[in-house]
């Protein structure tokens, strides 16, 4: 089976590096999949999950909070994210507490920044639960 090399990097650190057979992500235009041999592309990422499927069948999920996905002739894929967290690194208790706090704040005041923060916490919890 063919693979492509993937690097996931956040503004703070290198998150993941490996050879995968499939990558799925959420762009600002919708869901997308990248397979080895994909045409070169630069794709804006939304708040969403990046699913990496390795050749041996195991999967890794990454919570990505906006960024760019770069495909270089299908052989290398780079995910440059504002924030990127592996499912195993999500602090579930902290995310649940922050989510509850944001939901209380949104009951008082509907604010786009609060809604975006809530989406991030929901994504963290979703990624952690699916791992």
How do residues 13-42 score in pLDDT, each as one tens digit?
A: 999 999 999 999 999 999 999 999 999 999
Which CATH fold would you assign to the domain 4-87?
A: ATP Synthase; domain 1 (2.60.15)
CA angle, 90 as apex, 105 and 23 as ends, to 5°?
110
Mean pLDDT over all residues of the chain? 93
* Token pair for 18: 């490996």
Is the pLDDT score of 5 beyond 80?
Answer: yes
Whole-number pLDDT of residue 94 = 95
Rounded-to-integer distance, Cα 35 and Cα 51, Å = 12
pLDDT band of 73, cuts 50, 70, 90 = confident
Percent over 90 (pLDDT), the chain: 89
Whole-number pLDDT of residue 97 = 95
Chain centroid to Cα 23, Å, comes to 11
- Delimit the domains of the chain by residue range: 4-87, 90-130
pTM above 0.85, yes or no: yes
């Amino acid at each position: 089976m063919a693979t492509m090399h993937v690097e996931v990097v956040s503004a703070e650190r290198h998150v993941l590096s490996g050879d995968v057979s499939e990558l799925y992500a959420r762009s600002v235009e919708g869901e997308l999949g990248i397979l080895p041999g994909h045409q070169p592309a630069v794709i804006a990422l939304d708040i969403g999950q990046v699913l990496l499927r390795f050749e041996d069948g195991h999967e890794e999920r990454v919570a990505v909070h906006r960024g760019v996905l770069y495909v270089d002739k299908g052989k290398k894929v780079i995910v440059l994210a504002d924030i990127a967290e592996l499912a195993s690194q999500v602090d579930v208790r902290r995310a649940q507490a922050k989510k509850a706090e944001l939901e209380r704040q949104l009951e008082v005041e509907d604010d786009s920044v609060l809604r975006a923060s809530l989406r991030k916490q929901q994504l963290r919890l979703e990624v952690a639960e699916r791992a």
